[in-house]
Amino acid sequence: MNDTQGIFATSTRQVNIPVAISSRHVHLTQATIEQLFGNQYQLRVDTVLNQPYQYEAMETVALIGPYGRIRNVRVVGPARAVNQIEVSRTDAITLGIKAPVRESGDLIGSPGIVIEGPRAQVQLGTGVICAFRHIHMSPADAERLAVKDRDRVEVSTEVYNRGVRFRDVLVRVSPDYQLELHLDTDEANAAGLRAGDFAVLCKTGNSDLNL
């Protein structure tokens, strides 16, 4: 039993999970895009992201909160069914907004904000969140890591003088997903991480891998 656990821990530990760092960004509906940028406006692709069909658009907006403004906030395409504004907690404090830590799409009760584009300012009634940290992975990765969709796991990073173990990391499994730990800029900076660094799983469900 101990031997089996030992082997399991070692093999899991060897999986390096690439770190992706999400800067503040907005997902917009086509209606909001048209209000901000003009009638029948279509987002233009700047950089294709690793997760399926997602891209950084060339378009940016400004976020205007009660205490402050943040310019040059990237729109992530394609257009979505619901507006969603993802900021770090540092950003939320700059703006003067209490953004809750939420999964993508879980926007009930989240605060609104003013978004400014070249054609207009749009007041959103809801939609500002700090993203719940999460790992995207395929079913094959999930099997290899011995986790399942919606598990809450712990992940360890080892940058010199800034080692961190993140608890409350959500597992998201889909055949379309590529293995990637998504952290916001506060989380990445607290751990001294850069894009392309790696994290390792150190606790899955009830099993502690003793890292």
- Specify the residue, 150 or 162, whose C-beta has the smaller distance to its own copies: 162
Geometric angle at alpha carbon 148, from 144 and 152, rounded to 5°: 110
Give, in order, the Cα–Cα distances in Å from 165 to each of 12, 41, 149, 175: 16, 43, 21, 27
Residue 2 exposed, middle or buried by CB count within 10 Å (0-12, 13-18, 19+) = exposed
Strand, helix or coil at 163?
coil
| Piece of the chain touching its own copies by CB under 8 A; list 45-53, 82-90, 138-146, 172-180 | 82-90
| Piece of the chain touching its own copies by CB under 8 A; list 26-34, 45-53, 142-150, 163-171 | 163-171
Residue 66 exposed, middle or buried by CB count within 10 Å (0-12, 13-18, 19+) = exposed
Contacts to its own copies from residues 18-77, by CB under 8 A: none
- Specify the residue, 46 or 154, whose C-beta has the smaller distance to its own copies: 154
- Specify the residue, 37 or 132, whose C-beta has the smaller distance to its own copies: 132
Token pair for residue 178? 């590529």
Please select the residue that binds its own copies; options are 109, 161, 176, 206, rule is CB under 8 A.
Answer: 161
211 binds its own copies (CB under 8 A): no
- Specify the residue, 31 or 101, whose C-beta has the smaller distance to its own copies: 101
Q: What is the DSSP letter of 152?
A: E
> What are 199's strand-pairing partners?
17
195 binds its own copies (CB under 8 A): no
164 binds its own copies (CB under 8 A): yes
Please select the residue that binds its own copies; options are 11, 163, 198, 205, rule is CB under 8 A.
Answer: 163
Please select the residue that binds its own copies; options are 12, 35, 84, 88, rule is CB under 8 A.
Answer: 88
Task: Please state, in angstroms and rounded to a whole number, the distance separating the CA atoms of residues 168 and 165.
Answer: 10
Give the residues lining the site for its own copies (CB under 8 A). Answer: 88-90, 93, 101, 132, 160-168, 184-187, 189-192
